[in-house]
Amino acid sequence: MKKFINKTDDILTESLSGFALAHHDLVSLNLNPNYLTRKQKATSKVAIISGGGSGHEPLHAGYIGYGMLDAACPGHVFTSPTPDQMLAAAEAVHADKGILFIVKNYAGDVMNFEMAAEMLPFESATVLTSDDCAVINSTYTTGRRGVAGTVIVEKCVGSLAETGADLQACKALGDKVNSRIASMGVALTSCTVPAAGRPTFDIDDTELEMGVGIHGEPGRRRETMREADTIVTDVVTAILDALKPASGSEALLLINGFGATPLMELYLIYNTATRLFNEHGIKISRSLVGNYTTALDMAGASVTLCLLDDEIKQHWDSPVHTAALRWGA
Protein backbone atom coordinates (compact mmCIF):
# COMPACT_ATOMS: atom_id res chain seq x y z
CA MET A 1 0.00 0.00 0.00
CA LYS A 2 1.37 3.39 -1.01
CA LYS A 3 -0.80 6.27 0.27
CA PHE A 4 -0.40 9.69 1.88
CA ILE A 5 -0.88 8.62 5.48
CA ASN A 6 0.63 9.63 8.79
CA LYS A 7 -1.11 7.16 11.08
CA THR A 8 -3.91 4.96 9.78
CA ASP A 9 -6.08 5.81 12.79
CA ASP A 10 -5.73 9.53 12.08
CA ILE A 11 -6.59 9.57 8.35
CA LEU A 12 -10.24 10.44 8.80
CA THR A 13 -9.73 13.23 11.32
CA GLU A 14 -6.86 14.77 9.36
CA SER A 15 -8.76 14.60 6.08
CA LEU A 16 -11.93 16.09 7.59
CA SER A 17 -9.87 18.85 9.20
CA GLY A 18 -8.26 19.63 5.85
CA PHE A 19 -11.65 19.72 4.15
CA ALA A 20 -13.02 22.10 6.78
CA LEU A 21 -9.97 24.36 6.44
CA ALA A 22 -10.10 24.38 2.64
CA HIS A 23 -13.81 25.22 2.64
CA HIS A 24 -13.98 27.30 5.81
CA ASP A 25 -16.29 29.75 4.04
CA LEU A 26 -18.86 26.97 3.51
CA VAL A 27 -18.65 24.39 6.31
CA SER A 28 -17.98 23.90 10.01
CA LEU A 29 -16.56 20.67 11.38
CA ASN A 30 -17.38 19.04 14.71
CA LEU A 31 -15.23 16.15 15.93
CA ASN A 32 -16.42 13.47 18.41
CA PRO A 33 -19.05 12.92 17.27
CA ASN A 34 -18.01 13.68 13.69
CA TYR A 35 -20.33 15.80 11.60
CA LEU A 36 -20.12 18.83 9.31
CA THR A 37 -22.69 21.59 8.89
CA ARG A 38 -23.15 24.68 6.77
CA LYS A 39 -21.18 27.64 8.07
CA GLN A 40 -24.35 29.72 8.09
CA LYS A 41 -27.22 27.84 9.70
CA ALA A 42 -30.35 28.02 7.54
CA THR A 43 -33.64 29.12 9.08
CA SER A 44 -37.19 27.85 8.65
CA LYS A 45 -36.56 25.03 6.21
CA VAL A 46 -36.42 21.26 6.23
CA ALA A 47 -32.89 20.35 7.31
CA ILE A 48 -31.35 17.86 4.89
CA ILE A 49 -28.82 15.50 6.44
CA SER A 50 -26.92 12.77 4.67
CA GLY A 51 -24.04 10.57 5.64
CA GLY A 52 -22.30 7.31 5.03
CA GLY A 53 -18.96 5.65 5.18
CA SER A 54 -15.94 7.75 4.26
CA GLY A 55 -13.92 7.00 1.14
CA HIS A 56 -16.56 8.28 -1.33
CA GLU A 57 -15.42 11.91 -1.29
CA PRO A 58 -16.74 14.41 -2.23
CA LEU A 59 -19.89 12.52 -1.11
CA HIS A 60 -21.37 13.72 1.29
CA ALA A 61 -19.53 16.65 2.92
CA GLY A 62 -18.71 18.11 -0.48
CA TYR A 63 -22.43 18.71 -1.00
CA ILE A 64 -23.01 20.79 2.14
CA GLY A 65 -24.10 24.32 1.38
CA TYR A 66 -26.81 26.44 -0.14
CA GLY A 67 -29.13 24.41 -2.35
CA MET A 68 -28.05 21.00 -1.10
CA LEU A 69 -27.26 19.54 2.34
CA ASP A 70 -27.42 21.16 5.76
CA ALA A 71 -25.17 18.56 7.37
CA ALA A 72 -23.26 15.38 6.67
CA CYS A 73 -22.12 12.56 8.98
CA PRO A 74 -18.99 10.76 7.82
CA GLY A 75 -18.38 7.25 9.16
CA HIS A 76 -15.12 5.34 9.19
CA VAL A 77 -13.89 4.28 5.77
CA PHE A 78 -16.69 2.30 4.06
CA THR A 79 -18.52 1.98 7.39
CA SER A 80 -21.84 3.61 8.20
CA PRO A 81 -21.77 6.50 10.67
CA THR A 82 -23.41 5.96 14.06
CA PRO A 83 -26.69 7.34 15.51
CA ASP A 84 -24.93 9.71 17.94
CA GLN A 85 -23.45 11.53 14.92
CA MET A 86 -26.85 11.96 13.28
CA LEU A 87 -28.49 13.08 16.51
CA ALA A 88 -25.82 15.73 17.14
CA ALA A 89 -25.96 16.91 13.52
CA ALA A 90 -29.76 17.13 13.65
CA GLU A 91 -29.60 19.12 16.86
CA ALA A 92 -27.17 21.54 15.19
CA VAL A 93 -29.08 22.16 11.95
CA HIS A 94 -32.73 21.68 12.90
CA ALA A 95 -34.63 24.70 11.56
CA ASP A 96 -38.23 24.19 12.72
CA LYS A 97 -39.46 22.16 9.74
CA GLY A 98 -38.14 18.70 10.51
CA ILE A 99 -35.20 16.60 9.38
CA LEU A 100 -34.92 14.72 6.10
CA PHE A 101 -32.28 11.99 6.04
CA ILE A 102 -30.93 10.93 2.65
CA VAL A 103 -29.49 7.45 3.05
CA LYS A 104 -27.86 5.11 0.57
CA ASN A 105 -29.51 1.70 0.71
CA TYR A 106 -27.03 -0.44 2.60
CA ALA A 107 -28.04 -2.53 5.62
CA GLY A 108 -25.68 -0.70 7.98
CA ASP A 109 -26.59 2.81 6.87
CA VAL A 110 -30.30 2.01 6.96
CA MET A 111 -30.15 0.60 10.50
CA ASN A 112 -28.00 3.38 11.96
CA PHE A 113 -30.19 6.13 10.46
CA GLU A 114 -33.31 4.22 11.53
CA MET A 115 -32.11 4.09 15.15
CA ALA A 116 -31.21 7.80 15.01
CA ALA A 117 -34.68 8.63 13.66
CA GLU A 118 -36.27 6.66 16.52
CA MET A 119 -34.28 8.63 19.12
CA LEU A 120 -34.67 12.02 17.43
CA PRO A 121 -36.75 14.63 19.29
CA PHE A 122 -37.83 16.19 15.96
CA GLU A 123 -40.10 15.10 13.15
CA SER A 124 -38.12 13.26 10.49
CA ALA A 125 -38.42 11.36 7.24
CA THR A 126 -35.94 9.33 5.20
CA VAL A 127 -35.27 9.00 1.49
CA LEU A 128 -33.43 5.77 0.64
CA THR A 129 -31.44 5.94 -2.57
CA SER A 130 -31.21 2.72 -4.56
CA ASP A 131 -30.04 3.54 -8.06
CA ASP A 132 -27.53 0.74 -8.63
CA CYS A 133 -29.17 -1.55 -11.19
CA ALA A 134 -26.22 -3.97 -11.10
CA VAL A 135 -27.84 -5.89 -8.27
CA ILE A 136 -30.00 -8.60 -9.75
CA ASN A 137 -33.03 -10.14 -7.98
CA SER A 138 -33.72 -6.86 -6.28
CA THR A 139 -37.11 -7.96 -4.95
CA TYR A 140 -35.48 -11.00 -3.41
CA THR A 141 -32.63 -9.18 -1.69
CA THR A 142 -32.34 -6.11 0.50
CA GLY A 143 -32.70 -4.23 -2.76
CA ARG A 144 -30.58 -2.14 -5.03
CA ARG A 145 -27.65 -0.24 -3.59
CA GLY A 146 -27.45 3.53 -3.44
CA VAL A 147 -24.55 4.89 -5.50
CA ALA A 148 -23.72 7.99 -7.58
CA GLY A 149 -27.36 8.83 -8.30
CA THR A 150 -27.52 9.93 -4.65
CA VAL A 151 -25.84 13.19 -5.74
CA ILE A 152 -28.78 13.98 -8.03
CA VAL A 153 -31.29 13.20 -5.26
CA GLU A 154 -29.39 15.44 -2.81
CA LYS A 155 -29.24 18.27 -5.37
CA CYS A 156 -32.96 18.20 -6.22
CA VAL A 157 -34.25 17.74 -2.67
CA GLY A 158 -31.83 20.40 -1.42
CA SER A 159 -33.19 22.82 -4.00
CA LEU A 160 -36.80 22.16 -3.03
CA ALA A 161 -36.03 22.56 0.69
CA GLU A 162 -34.66 26.07 0.03
CA THR A 163 -38.12 27.12 -1.17
CA GLY A 164 -39.58 26.38 2.27
CA ALA A 165 -41.35 23.21 1.13
CA ASP A 166 -42.47 20.89 3.94
CA LEU A 167 -40.97 17.57 5.00
CA GLN A 168 -43.44 15.36 3.12
CA ALA A 169 -42.95 17.33 -0.11
CA CYS A 170 -39.16 17.00 0.19
CA LYS A 171 -39.42 13.27 0.82
CA ALA A 172 -41.83 12.84 -2.08
CA LEU A 173 -39.47 14.59 -4.49
CA GLY A 174 -36.52 12.53 -3.23
CA ASP A 175 -38.42 9.27 -3.74
CA LYS A 176 -39.53 10.38 -7.19
CA VAL A 177 -36.05 11.37 -8.36
CA ASN A 178 -34.62 8.12 -6.99
CA SER A 179 -37.21 6.09 -8.90
CA ARG A 180 -36.12 7.75 -12.15
CA ILE A 181 -32.40 6.97 -11.79
CA ALA A 182 -30.36 3.91 -12.72
CA SER A 183 -26.60 3.50 -12.36
CA MET A 184 -24.04 0.82 -13.02
CA GLY A 185 -20.30 0.75 -12.37
CA VAL A 186 -17.26 -1.04 -13.74
CA ALA A 187 -14.01 -1.56 -11.83
CA LEU A 188 -10.65 -1.98 -13.51
CA THR A 189 -8.68 -2.26 -10.24
CA SER A 190 -9.52 -2.79 -6.60
CA CYS A 191 -9.51 -0.11 -3.94
CA THR A 192 -7.41 -0.43 -0.78
CA VAL A 193 -9.00 0.35 2.60
CA PRO A 194 -6.16 2.06 4.54
CA ALA A 195 -6.76 0.13 7.76
CA ALA A 196 -6.76 -3.17 5.86
CA GLY A 197 -3.60 -2.24 3.97
CA ARG A 198 -4.18 -4.39 0.93
CA PRO A 199 -6.58 -4.48 -2.03
CA THR A 200 -10.18 -5.37 -1.17
CA PHE A 201 -10.39 -7.82 -4.06
CA ASP A 202 -8.02 -9.49 -6.49
CA ILE A 203 -8.42 -8.57 -10.12
CA ASP A 204 -6.07 -9.45 -12.94
CA ASP A 205 -4.72 -6.92 -15.46
CA THR A 206 -6.80 -8.65 -18.13
CA GLU A 207 -10.08 -8.47 -16.16
CA LEU A 208 -12.84 -6.04 -15.21
CA GLU A 209 -15.63 -6.32 -12.61
CA MET A 210 -18.99 -5.52 -14.20
CA GLY A 211 -21.52 -3.99 -11.80
CA VAL A 212 -19.06 -3.24 -8.99
CA GLY A 213 -20.33 -1.42 -5.90
CA ILE A 214 -18.75 1.72 -4.47
CA HIS A 215 -16.94 -0.28 -1.77
CA GLY A 216 -15.36 -2.66 -4.24
CA GLU A 217 -18.09 -5.23 -3.56
CA PRO A 218 -18.38 -7.68 -6.41
CA GLY A 219 -21.05 -6.95 -8.99
CA ARG A 220 -22.68 -8.99 -11.72
CA ARG A 221 -19.67 -10.85 -13.04
CA ARG A 222 -15.97 -10.88 -13.73
CA GLU A 223 -15.26 -10.30 -17.40
CA THR A 224 -12.33 -10.02 -19.78
CA MET A 225 -10.98 -6.51 -20.34
CA ARG A 226 -11.88 -5.17 -23.74
CA GLU A 227 -12.30 -1.92 -25.68
CA ALA A 228 -14.24 0.89 -24.00
CA ASP A 229 -17.17 1.02 -26.42
CA THR A 230 -18.24 -2.56 -25.77
CA ILE A 231 -17.93 -2.11 -22.00
CA VAL A 232 -20.04 1.06 -22.11
CA THR A 233 -22.57 -0.67 -24.38
CA ASP A 234 -23.15 -3.34 -21.73
CA VAL A 235 -23.56 -0.73 -19.00
CA VAL A 236 -25.95 1.37 -21.07
CA THR A 237 -27.98 -1.73 -21.94
CA ALA A 238 -28.32 -2.62 -18.24
CA ILE A 239 -29.49 0.93 -17.46
CA LEU A 240 -32.03 0.89 -20.29
CA ASP A 241 -33.32 -2.49 -19.09
CA ALA A 242 -33.78 -1.06 -15.59
CA LEU A 243 -35.43 2.26 -16.52
CA LYS A 244 -37.21 1.30 -19.75
CA PRO A 245 -37.40 4.94 -20.85
CA ALA A 246 -39.84 5.90 -23.58
CA SER A 247 -38.30 7.09 -26.82
CA GLY A 248 -38.10 10.87 -26.72
CA SER A 249 -37.30 10.95 -22.98
CA GLU A 250 -35.07 13.74 -21.75
CA ALA A 251 -32.31 12.78 -19.32
CA LEU A 252 -29.33 13.81 -17.24
CA LEU A 253 -26.20 11.73 -17.84
CA LEU A 254 -23.66 11.46 -15.02
CA ILE A 255 -20.31 9.80 -15.66
CA ASN A 256 -18.73 9.27 -12.26
CA GLY A 257 -15.11 8.34 -11.66
CA PHE A 258 -14.28 5.95 -8.81
CA GLY A 259 -11.09 7.77 -7.82
CA ALA A 260 -8.25 6.55 -10.03
CA THR A 261 -9.63 6.97 -13.53
CA PRO A 262 -8.62 10.20 -15.27
CA LEU A 263 -11.14 12.72 -16.58
CA MET A 264 -9.84 12.02 -20.07
CA GLU A 265 -11.33 8.52 -19.89
CA LEU A 266 -14.51 9.72 -18.17
CA TYR A 267 -15.17 12.08 -21.09
CA LEU A 268 -14.49 9.22 -23.51
CA ILE A 269 -17.17 7.23 -21.68
CA TYR A 270 -19.51 10.23 -21.81
CA ASN A 271 -19.00 10.41 -25.57
CA THR A 272 -19.88 6.77 -26.12
CA ALA A 273 -22.76 6.69 -23.64
CA THR A 274 -24.36 9.81 -25.13
CA ARG A 275 -24.24 8.30 -28.61
CA LEU A 276 -25.77 5.03 -27.39
CA PHE A 277 -28.56 6.72 -25.44
CA ASN A 278 -29.27 8.97 -28.44
CA GLU A 279 -29.60 5.86 -30.60
CA HIS A 280 -32.34 4.74 -28.22
CA GLY A 281 -34.18 8.02 -28.65
CA ILE A 282 -33.06 9.56 -25.37
CA LYS A 283 -32.10 13.19 -25.41
CA ILE A 284 -29.28 14.02 -23.00
CA SER A 285 -29.99 17.61 -21.95
CA ARG A 286 -28.00 17.80 -18.70
CA SER A 287 -24.56 16.39 -17.88
CA LEU A 288 -22.14 15.89 -15.04
CA VAL A 289 -18.68 14.33 -15.56
CA GLY A 290 -16.12 13.88 -12.79
CA ASN A 291 -15.36 12.25 -9.45
CA TYR A 292 -18.59 12.69 -7.48
CA THR A 293 -19.01 9.36 -5.66
CA THR A 294 -15.65 7.67 -5.39
CA ALA A 295 -14.41 4.36 -3.98
CA LEU A 296 -11.04 5.45 -2.56
CA ASP A 297 -8.38 4.62 -5.17
CA MET A 298 -10.37 2.26 -7.34
CA ALA A 299 -9.94 2.66 -11.10
CA GLY A 300 -13.25 2.52 -12.86
CA ALA A 301 -16.35 4.52 -13.50
CA SER A 302 -20.10 4.41 -13.26
CA VAL A 303 -22.78 5.60 -15.65
CA THR A 304 -25.94 7.15 -14.18
CA LEU A 305 -29.02 8.13 -16.15
CA CYS A 306 -31.75 10.25 -14.56
CA LEU A 307 -35.00 10.71 -16.49
CA LEU A 308 -35.99 14.36 -16.27
CA ASP A 309 -39.30 16.13 -16.06
CA ASP A 310 -39.94 19.85 -15.63
CA GLU A 311 -39.84 19.65 -11.83
CA ILE A 312 -36.56 17.70 -11.69
CA LYS A 313 -34.99 19.98 -14.32
CA GLN A 314 -35.97 23.06 -12.34
CA HIS A 315 -34.38 21.69 -9.16
CA TRP A 316 -31.27 20.43 -10.95
CA ASP A 317 -30.73 23.83 -12.60
CA SER A 318 -31.37 25.94 -9.49
CA PRO A 319 -28.45 27.69 -7.74
CA VAL A 320 -26.13 25.58 -5.60
CA HIS A 321 -23.04 26.55 -3.65
CA THR A 322 -21.11 23.65 -2.17
CA ALA A 323 -17.48 22.50 -2.23
CA ALA A 324 -18.10 20.01 -5.03
CA LEU A 325 -21.03 21.46 -7.01
CA ARG A 326 -21.44 25.14 -7.69
CA TRP A 327 -23.49 27.03 -10.24
CA GLY A 328 -25.85 29.99 -10.31
CA ALA A 329 -24.77 31.15 -6.84
* Cα 14 to Cα 328: distance, rounded to the nearest angstrom: 31
Is 321 a binder of another protein (CB under 8 A)?
no
Omega within 30 of 0 (cis) for the link into 245 = no
- Closer to another protein at the Cβ: 142 or 278? 142
How far, in Å, CA of 133 to CA of 147, rounded?
Answer: 10
> What's the min distance (Å) between Cβ of 17 and another protein?
20
Known catalytic membership, residue 315:
no
Tell which one of 77, 306, 323, 325 touches another protein (CB under 8 A). Answer: 77
Q: Does 82 bind another protein (CB under 8 A)?
A: yes
> What is the C-alpha to C-alpha distance for residues 160 and 312, in angstroms, rounded to an integer?
10
Residue 134 or 148: the one with the smaller Cβ distance to another protein is 134
Q: Within the chain, how many helices (H) and strands (E) appear?
A: 8, 15
Binding of residue 136 to another protein (CB under 8 A): yes
Taking CB under 8 A as the binding criterion, the range among 167-175, 213-221, 230-238, 239-247 that sits at the site for another protein is 213-221
**Catalytic option among 23, 56, 60, 94:** 56
Closest contact distance (angstroms) between CB of 293 and another protein is 15
Q: How many CB atoms lie within 10 A of CB 177?
A: 29
Q: Is 4 in the site for another protein (CB under 8 A)?
A: no
Alpha-carbon torsion, ordered 264, 267, 269, 270, to 10 deg: 180
Kindly tell me the sign of the dihedral angle through the C-alpha atoms of 62, 321, 124, 41: positive
Under a CB-based contact definition with an 8 Å cutoff, are residues 304 and 148 in contact? yes
Selected from 78, 258, 270, 292, the binder of another protein by CB under 8 A is 78
Contact between 50 and another protein per CB under 8 A: no
Least distance between another protein and beta carbon 135 (Å): 4
- 188 — phi, psi (to 5°)? -105, -25
Q: How far apart are CA 21 and CA 195, in angstroms?
A: 24
Residues 167-196 that bind another protein (CB under 8 A): 193, 195-196
Q: Is 91 in the site for another protein (CB under 8 A)?
A: no
Q: Is 294 helix (H, G, I), strand (E, B) or coil?
A: coil
Stretch that binds another protein, among 89-97, 211-219, 224-232, 285-293 (CB under 8 A): 211-219
Closer CB to another protein, residue 103 or residue 253?
A: 103
Q: In what order do the strands lie in the sheet with 65-66?
A: 65-66, 320-322, 326-327
Size of the residue set binding another protein (CB under 8 A): 38
Scan residues 92-131 and list those touching another protein (CB under 8 A): 106-108, 111-112, 114-115
Longest dimension (CA), the chain: 55
Distances in Å between the Cα of 235 and the Cα atoms of 132, 262, 276 are 11, 19, 10
Chain residues in the site for another protein (CB under 8 A): 33, 53, 75-84, 106-108, 111-112, 114-115, 134-137, 140-142, 145, 193, 195-196, 200-201, 213, 215-219
Catalytic center residues: 56, 215
